[in-house]
Chain A
Amino acid sequence: MSKSMLRTVLVIAALIIGLSVVYAPRIFSSTPAPIEESAEGEETYTYVTDLDFWKRTPRETTVKTVARFDLDADLNNVPLTVGDWQGEERPETNQEVEILLNPEQYVRRLYQNPEGQYIWLTMIGGRSSRPFHPPDICYSADGWQYDLGSRSVSLPEGGELYGLWLDADKQFADRSDPTEHVVYYFYLFPDKQRDLSDGIVLFKLTSAQYGSMDETLEMQADFIRNLFLKAE
């Protein structure tokens, strides 16, 4: 091998090593993989959750889940049976949602528990900011009055998952009482890099108010505890 050829090979080798060092963490960190099995022998996955997708907040946390919440998977595979809750698909029929948000994935379900309580689960996935209008902005634009706060959910294997809640109401002309929605939501990212192109999923629960606001949020927390096992 000539000296010139040897130098070329050495330079190429050095560049390959350098590029590997730069890109390997991104490549390997963007694919969520089962990290262990839960006590029931289920595969579990890790994600990062936060109250917002745009700017990191102090509530960012890493969670262990029993289902995949990333865009390399089909969000329709999130179980229809969630603890005592039984769900059915209720695809979005409003074409404006599709046109306005243009999500990569959009799953909408109605779950019911044995007490006859209902929860809507909406999961919106995308790789740009377009599908992710903060729910409070949408409610406000549609004429709802609301209070907004945050609440943590204690998970079965430890740790707290934080979400934002919305207590929204609106008086419709054809109803005697105001319609009330209790919304709880947070965002899921495949990893801490939170790169938009890796995909983001909005996880949103909506229900009527059952009892007090606290009782309603606790009912929603019960649903969440069946999908999210641990936070750290």
Chain B
Amino acid sequence: MEDNLLLDAIERYRNSEMSAEEKVFFEELRKNNPEIDQLVAEHNFFLGELDKMSDLKAYRQSLVEIESKLVNEGVISQKEMRGKAKISYLWGRYRRTIGVAASIAGIVSISTATIVSSYTEKKNVAAITPLVDNKLQKMEHKINQIESKMNVASTIVVVPAKPKFEANFRATGFLADGKGYIITNAHVVNNARNLIVENQKGEQFYAKAVYANKTTDLAILKIVDTSFHKLSGLPYTFSKSATELGEHIFTLGYPREEVVYGEGYLSAKSGYFGDTTSYQVSISVNPGNSGGPVVNKNGEIIGIISSKETNADGVVFAIKSKNIYNALKEVIEKDTIKLPVTNTLKGLDRVQQIKKLEDFVYMVKGN
């Protein structure tokens, strides 16, 4: 208790909240008592460090906000040059590498052809599981039904209960455009007659698939519900550059009726059996995580969770975000989709990032 009094006194002294007498008394105390003097000096230094941290955080926030403002105004170029300028720039830069790569490629292709032809008998047995939760338990349904009945019964209905059909699978998706375009996996929406998406507040909207490609396993849904209002301020951007091995990543998804956070790292730059359109990540996921965003520490989406290897632990595959651009090109012909360009997650700590992100991650259900 006495310690607290002393600490309190030091803080008031620092912030010059002491009366003149008190100040004299305090300085006297320090002079006559070397032990206290040392404690004061130590605490002063410590508080100084905390102050520095506080100032720096505020300043960093200003910098990040100014940067995104200038990017929006076009003062800072978002991406490098386009067209011819870019090609000649890239050529100038990678000329040597390309030369070396081309000659290596020649040698490698000949040798792999030989090796492959001698090993072709060994077939690879498909052993990956898509991460869609097909076993929505009866119990959960019962609870939901009871809950929705109770909602109807009580006079204050906050969330309009909408499930008129029984969903038999559950997965995850996230917004690509505040107008209601949601990205998820193609295997999620295949064979689905009805689709519903639900945000973490529990609001449900009808959606339909406007794009599904089995090869890339990407699908784009559009919310077609009139009760959906356009959202703005998507906090993330989509990464265009390659991600490095060992980079820390995280995901949000709906393996349960509640949003679940998982974190891990990038473990390989290719996916199942050398598939270069996906990454291998080490992250704990379960049926229902399919379609969830894979986000790096700067808040850029680097991929979409798609499947995991059945017979191995912690081997999960995520489709690279680059593929989204191709998918969008096909949808754009019908409607304009604008991917978010301003990243407001950069520099925030994880808890804040999740808070901002979770409003844009949806549960996808259907039958």
Q: Do the two shown chains form a genuine complex with each other?
A: no
Interface residue ranges, A against B (CB under 8 Å): none
